[in-house]
Amino acid sequence: MVRERARFVCQECGAEFAKWAGRCPECGTWNSIVEAEPLISSRGRKVELGKAAGTVRLRDVSAEDGERISTGFGELDRVLGGGIVPGSLILFGGDPGIGKSTLLLQVAERISRRYGACLYVSGEESARQIKLRADRIGVDGDRIELLCETDLSLVMAHIRREGPRLVVVDSIQTVYLPDIPSAPGSIAQVRECTGELMGMAKETGIPVMLVGHVTKEGIIAGPKMLEHMVDTVLYFEGERVSEFRILRSVKNRFGSTNEVGIFEMREGGLVEVENPSSFFLSGRAGDVPGSVVSASMGGTRPLLIEVQALVGPSVMGVPQRMVTGISPNRLSLLLAVLERRIGMRLQYKDVFVNVVGGIRVEETAVDLGVAVAISSSLKDKAIDPEILVFGEVGLGGEVRAVDHAGQRVREGVKLGFKRCVIPEGNARSVRLEEGVEVIGVKTVKEAIDILI
């Protein structure tokens, strides 16, 4: 069955148009619109007249997930919401060399030992290359079946015949359907191949993990529809020169999208970090100006992170504002508050802010920690290393309450912090722990006066 399509398609967002344009009207990307070829759907089927699809009442549908499949990694299980749901389609994205294939090979090995044989489909590497990696990271692979094939029709036939407990496809951009007249990795191929795997997963209950290439902007390559089709989208982040790896969920139909998992890349493969707070704070020099420990939430788990700031006179016409780990827009807001509400002269100063460990913080609870770190560096006075600081900063210079304050304080207590400077709105509700002083502040100025 031939399905009509528009003549031109954007390679970035997948939008379809009747005529070519230099810039995509949907996503604004230049030179991304290409001519699309006619697409023959391999899933097309003739529908008989007078024959309707069967329906079921919503109240009669069972809401039970069934038993989830444990990956053998507690960090990955928590990010997935408790494990892999049978029949789910999971998409892994990340920079080249970050460790996606290594992690999924370890996952396949652990699942195969507990639940049964797994299938690893490779369209990029030979069986010998995969074997060399497995030997390096200590994967036995006795119950892992390798299939080095790019023809998805042959892969699907093998899956239906063997019925593995898990399928890993590395990567979705390398497989193709022979019935579709376009090259592997094209929009049509990626979309249809994902659709075929999704239908098979829902029909058989076999979970499928897909590896997705990323663009230079760090987003998964191919049409945005790819992320809409799958059940879960995970990003593996971190610098290749660093041993830290952060697994972040950006979409999850079976769990929270706020969870993060922390891994460490070692010679024997990826190892999960059970206590990331102490890991991020290891090696900290407490008597250096501009260093403050703040508390962020990694989903349901509090993370203590070190925020560093360095302020110095600018030798250029325009002062530098460089930041790693938080939003540059948030830094600009905090600098404006410090100048306007506190009276600090920062307009001719270079300001550098860094969150140690390569972790990226999205929430605003570290605002107060960033502001105090900048003030500490500007005044060249070190903060007591046994003080924990967190709170959201408003444009009026006020310190606003944050959620899960009790969990953040308790995490600080476990790591030996003696004082906690937090929003006054949280100080009333936080239960005082033995040997810990909780100080509530209303404004940034009050916090700086107490700490510096």
Q: What is the pLDDT of residues 370-380, one digit of tens each?
A: 999 999 999 99
SS3 string, 91-113, reads EEEECCCCCHHHHHHHHHHHHHH
Task: State the pLDDT confidence band at 293, using cuts at 50, 70 and 90.
Answer: very high
| C-alpha–C-alpha distance, residues 140 and 51, integer Å | 51
In the chain, CATH 3.30.230.10 sits at 279-451
| C-alpha–C-alpha distance, residues 407 and 56, integer Å | 44
Task: State the pLDDT confidence band at 118, using cuts at 50, 70 and 90.
Answer: very high
| C-alpha–C-alpha distance, residues 357 and 368, integer Å | 19
Residues near 403 by beta carbon (within 8 Å), at least 6 away in sequence: 297
Note the CATH architecture for domain 66-272: 3-Layer(aba) Sandwich (3.40)
Check residues 84 and 283 and name the one with the higher pLDDT. Answer: 84
Task: State the pLDDT confidence band at 7, using cuts at 50, 70 and 90.
Answer: low
At residue 179, does pLDDT exceed 60? yes
Backbone angles phi, psi at 192, to 5 degrees: -70, -40
Q: What is the pLDDT of residues 386-436, one digit of tens each?
A: 999 999 999 999 999 999 999 999 899 888 898 999 999 998 888 766 668
Backbone angles phi, psi at 92, to 5 degrees: -105, 130
3-state helix, strand, coil in the chain (%, to 5): 30, 25, 45
Q: Could you tell me the pTM of the whole model?
A: 0.75
Q: Three-state DSSP class for 336? A: helix
The continuous run of DSSP H or E covering 133 comes out as helix 127-137
| C-alpha–C-alpha distance, residues 242 and 248, integer Å | 17
Contact 159, 169 (CB under 8 A): no
In the chain, CATH 3.40.50.300 sits at 66-272
Q: What is the pLDDT of residue 85?
A: 94
Q: What is the pLDDT of residue 304?
A: 93
Note the CATH architecture for domain 279-451: 2-Layer Sandwich (3.30)
